Amino acid sequence: MDLVDPSYDFIKDRSSPDRERYWDENYPHELLGYAPYDGLLVSKAIVGGHIRSGKYTESQAMRFKRIGARSFLRFEEKDYPNTVIWGDCGAFTYVNEEVPPYSVDDILEFYGDGQFSHGCSVDHIIFEFSDTEFDFKFEDKEVLRRQEICLSNASEFISKANKVIGNYFTPVGVVHGWSPKSIADAACEMVKMGYKYLALGGMVPLKSPQIMSALNAVRSEIPKDVELHILGFAKSDDLNQFIGKGINSIDTTSPLLRAFKDNKNNYYLKTDEGYQYYCAIRVPQALVNSNLKKLVNSGSLDLEKAITLERQTLKEIRSYASNGGSYKNAMTVFREYWELILTDKAKTNQRQANKELENQSVGTARTLKDRPWEKCKCAICQKVGVEVVIFRGNNRNRRRGFHNLHIYYEHIKQVQRTSA
């Protein structure tokens, strides 16, 4: 779950000893003081259950079922009005399986227990995609089989949804295909079933022009009053192109994930033109870093030296950030620490080690020189300062992700205002 300890001690790198996980931690909307989104999407595959486990513990999954999604996520409608709470199946987690592990009844039970406002039909991802009118459904029976699973489940889903859950619930038909035409055809089939809200699935690996071609094909065939969602929309740099194209909603984890999974674009900064991206300053923890542990275990490195350099690096970065230290000192000790980290790699591939050292140094130098954390007014940057750009442990990395959500949300709102 995306939670952080609001009282985390960054100097000692630890939480208070009496902290209780979840209860004493904050979601993004709690830490920022407002919701940097208009709703939340919760995957059945993440919550888990009796069919297969997810990322929630058994007790967490049971509590989620007992009190519902909004209460569990502390995202009550009275506190966050005009927001929605979506559910989906988590099709990416079973993409390699022959059929979805969940039945329509399983998913309806999950949506009902979670008291979701919207819920996606049980889908099965199709990855194949052709930009042209070439139709290969008869040459590739697997894509046709998967689409038939999606359509069959969608038909059963909408026939049962409001009876099982209630009229407050909006069933969302998930559309899959292998070309703009096949996707549009499937969308039309779902409209005939009675869907008023559709979601385009399988878009994550596609490029923006491919998503646009599918979107245009669907919009040209379905009624204007049918709402449209894009699942897993990660094209933040191309957002402007999609405004005014008939998209009612999107979901994405990209701002969160890029905070710690991207090699260099970890920190978002809003500009008049859109974004600037900054590389987080990587200061690995000496006691847990795999490269350093290998050197220590082999006897070729003194652990005390690694810990000393680690502490000096953090000290110099913080000193520079507070305007009491120098940029030169911060970069010098940073490079020295990374030379130590790369010792083992340098023995087998000096060229590769040098390249990695330079990449780390160039990204860190730009981040330190520009001091982007001082230019952001979000509650996180204002409170923790330079710690938000240090790549080190969940409490920093997730905070950076929360900050990115804030920037992304502000960007969406600005683009919408400009295009209105």
Positions marked catalytic: 88, 251
Contact between residue 233 and residue 255 where contact means Cβ atoms under 8 Å apart: no
Which distant-in-sequence residues (6+ apart) come within 8 Å of 333 by Cβ? Answer: 309, 312, 313, 316
> How far, in Å, CA of 289 to CA of 342, rounded?
11
What is the token pair recorded at 151?
């359509």
Contact between residue 200 and residue 230 where contact means Cβ atoms under 8 Å apart: yes
> How far, in Å, CA of 348 to CA of 126, rounded?
42
> How far, in Å, CA of 65 to CA of 106, rounded?
13
Question: What DSSP assignment string belongs to 103-169?
Answer: -HHHHHHHHHHHT-SEEEPP--------SSS---TTT-HHHHHHHHHHHHHHHHHHHHHHHHT-TT-
> How far, in Å, CA of 338 to CA of 362, rounded?
13
What is the token pair recorded at 317?
């970065």
